[in-house]
Amino acid sequence: MLKFLGTGGAFNTKRGNTSAYFELGSELFLIDVGEDVFPKTIENHLFDQKTRVNIFITHLHSDHVGSLGTLLAYLYINVFGQDRSKICVYFPSEALKELLELQGVTEEVYTFYVNLWDELYVDGYQREVEYNFEAGKHTPYLDYKKNENCYHITFSQKKEFCFYYSGDTCEFNHQLSNPYAYDWIYHEVTMIKSAEVHFQYDKLLEATKDMPADQKKKFVLMHLDSNFDVERAKMDGFSIAGEQL
Protein backbone atom coordinates (compact mmCIF):
# COMPACT_ATOMS: atom_id res chain seq x y z
CA MET A 1 0.00 0.00 0.00
CA LEU A 2 2.63 2.57 1.02
CA LYS A 3 5.53 3.56 -1.20
CA PHE A 4 8.68 4.74 0.55
CA LEU A 5 10.94 7.68 -0.28
CA GLY A 6 13.33 6.54 2.45
CA THR A 7 13.40 3.79 5.07
CA GLY A 8 16.31 4.76 7.34
CA GLY A 9 16.83 5.91 10.90
CA ALA A 10 18.03 9.48 11.52
CA PHE A 11 21.72 8.71 10.89
CA ASN A 12 21.28 6.23 8.06
CA THR A 13 22.18 8.39 5.07
CA LYS A 14 22.14 5.39 2.75
CA ARG A 15 18.49 4.56 3.29
CA GLY A 16 17.52 8.20 3.89
CA ASN A 17 14.87 9.62 6.24
CA THR A 18 11.84 7.37 6.65
CA SER A 19 9.01 8.89 4.63
CA ALA A 20 6.11 7.25 2.80
CA TYR A 21 3.23 8.10 0.51
CA PHE A 22 0.13 6.76 -1.19
CA GLU A 23 -2.20 8.16 -3.80
CA LEU A 24 -5.99 8.11 -3.93
CA GLY A 25 -7.97 9.66 -6.78
CA SER A 26 -6.03 12.78 -7.68
CA GLU A 27 -4.67 13.38 -4.20
CA LEU A 28 -1.34 12.64 -2.58
CA PHE A 29 -0.93 11.54 1.03
CA LEU A 30 2.59 12.00 2.35
CA ILE A 31 3.79 10.88 5.78
CA ASP A 32 6.74 12.78 7.32
CA VAL A 33 9.09 15.13 5.48
CA GLY A 34 12.61 14.74 6.92
CA GLU A 35 15.77 16.60 5.88
CA ASP A 36 16.38 14.71 2.62
CA VAL A 37 12.75 14.24 1.55
CA PHE A 38 11.96 17.46 -0.37
CA PRO A 39 14.28 16.74 -3.36
CA LYS A 40 12.94 13.19 -3.58
CA THR A 41 9.34 14.40 -3.89
CA ILE A 42 10.41 16.42 -6.94
CA GLU A 43 12.53 13.63 -8.48
CA ASN A 44 9.60 11.22 -8.14
CA HIS A 45 7.14 13.70 -9.70
CA LEU A 46 4.81 13.27 -6.75
CA PHE A 47 2.89 16.48 -7.42
CA ASP A 48 2.16 16.02 -11.13
CA GLN A 49 -1.59 16.28 -11.82
CA LYS A 50 -2.45 16.41 -8.14
CA THR A 51 -5.45 18.42 -6.95
CA ARG A 52 -4.43 18.34 -3.30
CA VAL A 53 -1.46 17.31 -1.18
CA ASN A 54 -2.13 15.98 2.34
CA ILE A 55 0.88 15.88 4.62
CA PHE A 56 0.73 13.90 7.88
CA ILE A 57 3.41 14.39 10.52
CA THR A 58 4.20 11.90 13.31
CA HIS A 59 6.49 14.15 15.40
CA LEU A 60 8.86 17.11 15.21
CA HIS A 61 12.30 15.47 15.09
CA SER A 62 14.15 16.91 12.11
CA ASP A 63 14.47 13.52 10.39
CA HIS A 64 10.64 13.75 10.18
CA VAL A 65 10.02 17.46 9.48
CA GLY A 66 13.43 18.82 8.39
CA SER A 67 12.43 19.86 4.86
CA LEU A 68 8.72 20.46 5.48
CA GLY A 69 8.99 24.28 5.43
CA THR A 70 10.72 24.25 2.05
CA LEU A 71 8.20 21.77 0.67
CA LEU A 72 5.22 23.89 1.75
CA ALA A 73 6.71 27.05 0.22
CA TYR A 74 7.43 25.14 -3.01
CA LEU A 75 3.88 23.77 -3.23
CA TYR A 76 2.40 27.22 -2.61
CA ILE A 77 4.55 29.02 -5.16
CA ASN A 78 5.33 26.43 -7.84
CA VAL A 79 2.52 23.88 -7.75
CA PHE A 80 -0.78 25.31 -6.56
CA GLY A 81 -0.65 28.96 -7.71
CA GLN A 82 -0.78 30.34 -4.16
CA ASP A 83 -3.90 28.37 -3.24
CA ARG A 84 -3.29 27.22 0.33
CA SER A 85 -6.48 25.14 0.42
CA LYS A 86 -4.67 22.52 -1.73
CA ILE A 87 -1.83 22.19 0.78
CA CYS A 88 -3.03 20.45 3.93
CA VAL A 89 -0.93 19.64 6.96
CA TYR A 90 -2.19 17.30 9.70
CA PHE A 91 -0.66 17.16 13.16
CA PRO A 92 -2.54 17.18 16.49
CA SER A 93 -0.51 19.93 18.19
CA GLU A 94 -0.05 23.65 17.52
CA ALA A 95 3.67 23.06 18.12
CA LEU A 96 4.15 22.33 14.41
CA LYS A 97 2.58 25.66 13.44
CA GLU A 98 4.95 27.46 15.81
CA LEU A 99 7.98 25.65 14.42
CA LEU A 100 7.01 26.57 10.84
CA GLU A 101 6.33 30.18 11.86
CA LEU A 102 9.87 30.47 13.23
CA GLN A 103 11.06 29.30 9.81
CA GLY A 104 9.03 32.03 8.12
CA VAL A 105 6.34 29.67 6.83
CA THR A 106 3.03 31.06 8.05
CA GLU A 107 -0.50 29.68 7.68
CA GLU A 108 -0.84 31.84 4.58
CA VAL A 109 0.85 29.09 2.58
CA TYR A 110 -0.87 25.98 3.95
CA THR A 111 -3.98 24.80 5.79
CA PHE A 112 -3.40 23.34 9.22
CA TYR A 113 -5.58 20.57 10.69
CA VAL A 114 -5.03 19.89 14.37
CA ASN A 115 -7.70 17.16 14.77
CA LEU A 116 -6.98 13.73 16.17
CA TRP A 117 -9.57 12.15 13.90
CA ASP A 118 -11.43 13.07 10.74
CA GLU A 119 -12.87 11.83 7.48
CA LEU A 120 -11.71 13.34 4.23
CA TYR A 121 -13.51 13.73 0.96
CA VAL A 122 -10.91 12.83 -1.67
CA ASP A 123 -11.03 14.26 -5.20
CA GLY A 124 -11.61 11.62 -7.87
CA TYR A 125 -12.05 8.85 -5.31
CA GLN A 126 -15.60 9.44 -4.02
CA ARG A 127 -15.19 7.50 -0.79
CA GLU A 128 -14.22 9.02 2.48
CA VAL A 129 -10.91 8.12 4.03
CA GLU A 130 -10.55 8.15 7.76
CA TYR A 131 -7.44 9.07 9.69
CA ASN A 132 -6.82 8.65 13.36
CA PHE A 133 -3.86 10.01 15.36
CA GLU A 134 -3.05 8.33 18.63
CA ALA A 135 -0.51 9.68 21.11
CA GLY A 136 2.46 7.43 21.73
CA LYS A 137 5.72 7.41 23.64
CA HIS A 138 9.04 8.20 21.99
CA THR A 139 11.35 10.54 23.91
CA PRO A 140 10.39 12.76 26.87
CA TYR A 141 12.35 15.61 25.27
CA LEU A 142 9.40 16.01 22.95
CA ASP A 143 6.36 16.80 25.04
CA TYR A 144 3.29 18.15 23.30
CA LYS A 145 0.74 17.54 26.08
CA LYS A 146 2.38 15.59 28.88
CA ASN A 147 3.63 12.22 27.69
CA GLU A 148 2.67 12.82 24.08
CA ASN A 149 5.95 12.59 22.23
CA CYS A 150 4.89 11.19 18.90
CA TYR A 151 1.73 10.05 17.14
CA HIS A 152 0.79 6.72 15.62
CA ILE A 153 -1.50 7.14 12.61
CA THR A 154 -4.15 4.74 11.31
CA PHE A 155 -5.58 5.29 7.81
CA SER A 156 -8.63 3.43 6.66
CA GLN A 157 -11.41 3.24 4.16
CA LYS A 158 -13.89 0.83 5.68
CA LYS A 159 -14.34 -1.60 2.80
CA GLU A 160 -10.96 -1.19 1.13
CA PHE A 161 -7.97 -0.80 3.39
CA CYS A 162 -6.69 -0.15 6.86
CA PHE A 163 -3.09 0.40 7.78
CA TYR A 164 -1.16 1.52 10.82
CA TYR A 165 1.96 3.72 10.84
CA SER A 166 3.85 3.77 14.13
CA GLY A 167 6.08 6.83 13.74
CA ASP A 168 9.04 6.65 16.13
CA THR A 169 8.19 4.90 19.36
CA CYS A 170 9.59 2.82 22.19
CA GLU A 171 6.36 0.95 22.84
CA PHE A 172 4.12 -1.65 21.25
CA ASN A 173 0.56 -0.42 20.82
CA HIS A 174 -1.70 -3.06 22.40
CA GLN A 175 -4.10 -2.75 19.44
CA LEU A 176 -1.47 -4.40 17.26
CA SER A 177 -1.92 -7.62 19.20
CA ASN A 178 -4.84 -8.10 16.84
CA PRO A 179 -3.13 -7.84 13.43
CA TYR A 180 -6.32 -9.11 11.72
CA ALA A 181 -7.70 -5.56 12.02
CA TYR A 182 -5.06 -4.26 9.58
CA ASP A 183 -3.85 -4.90 6.06
CA TRP A 184 -0.40 -3.58 6.90
CA ILE A 185 1.39 -2.45 10.06
CA TYR A 186 4.31 -0.14 9.31
CA HIS A 187 6.51 -0.21 12.38
CA GLU A 188 9.68 1.51 13.46
CA VAL A 189 12.26 -0.82 14.98
CA THR A 190 15.89 -0.86 16.05
CA MET A 191 18.49 -3.52 16.79
CA ILE A 192 20.61 -1.04 18.80
CA LYS A 193 20.03 -2.03 22.41
CA SER A 194 21.19 1.33 23.84
CA ALA A 195 18.66 3.25 21.71
CA GLU A 196 15.98 3.27 24.40
CA VAL A 197 13.68 5.78 22.71
CA HIS A 198 13.21 3.41 19.75
CA PHE A 199 11.33 0.13 19.56
CA GLN A 200 13.61 -2.80 20.31
CA TYR A 201 13.63 -5.66 17.82
CA ASP A 202 13.62 -8.22 20.64
CA LYS A 203 10.38 -6.73 21.95
CA LEU A 204 8.82 -7.01 18.50
CA LEU A 205 9.81 -10.69 18.36
CA GLU A 206 8.23 -11.24 21.76
CA ALA A 207 5.04 -9.32 20.92
CA THR A 208 4.49 -11.23 17.69
CA LYS A 209 5.69 -14.70 18.71
CA ASP A 210 2.24 -16.34 18.74
CA MET A 211 1.05 -14.80 15.50
CA PRO A 212 0.66 -17.01 12.43
CA ALA A 213 3.15 -16.34 9.62
CA ASP A 214 0.66 -14.53 7.35
CA GLN A 215 -0.16 -12.06 10.16
CA LYS A 216 3.44 -11.53 11.18
CA LYS A 217 4.28 -10.68 7.59
CA LYS A 218 1.95 -7.68 7.87
CA PHE A 219 4.60 -6.00 10.04
CA VAL A 220 6.60 -3.89 7.62
CA LEU A 221 9.75 -2.66 9.34
CA MET A 222 11.02 0.88 8.79
CA HIS A 223 13.33 3.57 10.26
CA LEU A 224 16.19 1.09 9.97
CA ASP A 225 19.65 1.83 11.34
CA SER A 226 22.73 1.07 9.25
CA ASN A 227 23.51 -2.05 11.31
CA PHE A 228 19.96 -3.42 10.96
CA ASP A 229 20.10 -7.08 9.91
CA VAL A 230 17.53 -7.19 7.13
CA GLU A 231 18.14 -10.87 6.34
CA ARG A 232 17.54 -11.87 9.94
CA ALA A 233 14.31 -9.85 10.07
CA LYS A 234 13.09 -11.60 6.91
CA MET A 235 14.04 -15.00 8.34
CA ASP A 236 12.01 -14.09 11.42
CA GLY A 237 9.01 -13.53 9.15
CA PHE A 238 8.74 -9.74 8.89
CA SER A 239 8.53 -7.54 5.80
CA ILE A 240 10.92 -4.68 5.04
CA ALA A 241 9.75 -1.20 4.02
CA GLY A 242 10.56 -0.28 0.43
CA GLU A 243 10.83 -3.91 -0.72
CA GLN A 244 8.22 -5.53 -2.89
CA LEU A 245 5.51 -6.99 -0.64
Q: How far is the CB of 15 from Zn ion (least distance, A)?
A: 12
Q: How far is the CB of 225 from Zn ion (least distance, A)?
A: 10
Is 63 a binder of Zn ion (CB under 5 A)?
yes
Q: How far is the CB of 85 from Zn ion (least distance, A)?
A: 30
Q: How far is the CB of 126 from Zn ion (least distance, A)?
A: 35
Is 168 a binder of Zn ion (CB under 5 A)?
yes
CB of 95 closer than 8 Å to CB of 64: no
Task: Give backbone dihedrals phi and psi of 29, rounded to 5 degrees, phi first.
Answer: -120, 120
Span near Zn ion by CB under 5 A; candidates 19-27, 80-88, 166-174, 228-236 = 166-174
For Zn ion, which is the closer residue by CB, 134 or 168? Answer: 168
SS3 content of the chain, % helix, strand, coil (to 5): 25, 30, 45
Q: How far is the CB of 59 from Zn ion (least distance, A)?
A: 6
Is 27 a binder of Zn ion (CB under 5 A)?
no
Residues 6+ positions from 84 with CB-CB distance below 8 Å: 76, 107, 108, 109, 110, 111
For Zn ion, which is the closer residue by CB, 35 or 168? Answer: 168
Q: Total binding residues for Zn ion by CB under 5 A?
A: 4
CA angle 165–131–98, rounded 5-degree value: 85
CB of 174 closer than 8 Å to CB of 184: no
For Zn ion, which is the closer residue by CB, 15 or 50? Answer: 15
d(Cα 178, Cα 219) in Å, to the nearest integer?
A: 12
d(Cα 20, Cα 46) in Å, to the nearest integer?
A: 11
Residues that bind Zn ion (CB under 5 A): 10, 61, 63, 168
